[in-house]
Amino acid sequence: MKSKTIKIKIIFLLFAPFLLIAQQKTGNIVEYFGKEKVNEVSEGKVIHIFKEGLALKIQNFEFNSSSFPKDPVFYKFLMNPTLTVKKNEVFDINFLGNELKWNAIKVDTSNSFNDSKLRSSYVYLSYKSSSKKKVLFEASGHSLLLINGLPHEGDHYDFGWNLIPLTLNKGLNTFVLKVGRFPRIRARIIDPESLVQFTNRDLTLPDILVEEDREFIGAIRVVNSSDNWLTNYSIQSDLKGVKIQTSIAPIAPMSVQKVPFTIGSALNTEIHNKVVLSLILNDNKGQKIAAKKLEINLKSKYKHHKRTFISQIDGSVQYYSVAPTTNKDKASQALFLSVHGASVEAVNQANAYKQKDWGNLVAPTNRRPFGFAWEDWGRLDALEVLAEAKSIFQPNNQRIYLTGHSMGGHGSWYLGATYPDYFAAIAPCAGYPDLLLYRDSFTRKRSNMPIEKVSNFGITAKVEERLMMKYTPTLVESMIKRAGTPSRTLGLIRNYLHHGVYILHGEKDKVVPTHIARDMRERLGKFHNDFTYYEYPDGTHWYGNHSVDWNPIFEFFKQRTIKEDKDIKKYEFYTGSPGVSSNSHFITIHQQQKAFEVSSFEFSKEKSVEINTKNVSLLEIDTRPISDTIVEISLNGEIIKIEDKGIVFFEENNGKWNVSKAPSLKEKGPHRNGGFKDAFRNNVVLVYASNGSEFENEWYFNRAKFDAETFWYRANGKIQVVKDSEFSLKKYKDRNVIIYGNKDNNIAWNKLLKNNPIQVNDNKISFGGKELKGTQWGSYFIVPRADSDIASVGVVTATGKKGMKAAYMNHYLVNGTTFPDVLIFDDQVLIEGDSKVKCAGFFGNDWSIETGDFEWN
DSSP letter string, 265-321: --TTPPPEEEEEEEEEEE-TTS-EEEEEEEEEEEE-TTSSEEEEEE-TTTS-EEEEE
In sequence order, the β-bridge partners of residue 793 are 737, 783
Predicted local confidence at residue 435, as pLDDT: 86
Distance CA 143, CA 181 (A): 8
**According to the model, what pLDDT value does residue 464 have?**
64
**Burial track 120-139 (b if 16+ CB lie within 10 A, e otherwise):** bbbbbbebebeeeeebbbbb
> What local confidence, expressed as pLDDT, does residue 65 receive?
53
What pairing do the DSSP bridges indicate for beta strands 242-247 and 234-239? antiparallel
* CA distance linking residue 193 with residue 173, whole number of Å: 22
Q: How far apart are CA 180 and CA 157, in angstroms?
A: 7
Q: What is the spatial distance between Cα 835 and Cα 473, in angstroms, rounded to a whole number?
A: 8
Instruction: Supply the DSSP symbol for 79.
Output: H
**854 and 837 Cβ atoms separated by less than 8 Å:** no
Task: For residue range 84-134, list pLDDT tens digits in order.
Answer: 999 999 999 988 889 999 999 999 999 999 999 999 999 999 999 999 999
170: helix, coil or strand? Answer: coil
3-state DSSP assignment of residue 418: helix
Handedness of CA 846, 851, 852, 853 (dihedral sign): negative
- pLDDT in the model for residue 607: 85
pLDDT at 470: 72
CA 809 to chain centre: 15
> Would you say 161 and 200 are in contact if contact means Cβ atoms under 8 Å apart?
no
Residue 2 parent element (H or E): helix 2-24
Q: Which residues pair with 740 in a beta bridge?
A: 688, 796
pLDDT tens track for 319-355: 999 999 999 999 999 999 999 999 999 999 999 999 9
Q: What is the 3-state secondary structure (H, E, C) of 20-31?
A: HHHHHCCCCCCC
DSSP state of 672: B
590 with 663: CB under 8 angstroms?
Answer: yes
Read off the pTM: 0.95
Structure confidence at residue 132 (pLDDT): 97
The ranges of the chain with pLDDT < 70 are 1-35, 60-65, 441-468
Q: Are 587 and 602 in contact (CB under 8 A)?
A: no
Q: Is 45 exposed, middle or buried (0-12, 13-18, 19+ CB in 10 A)?
A: exposed
CB 343 within 8 A of CB 31: yes
The confidence score (pLDDT) of residue 446 equals 60
Tell me the residue ranges of DSSP E strands in 68-161: 90-93, 99-101, 103-106, 113-114, 121-129, 133-140, 142-147, 150-153
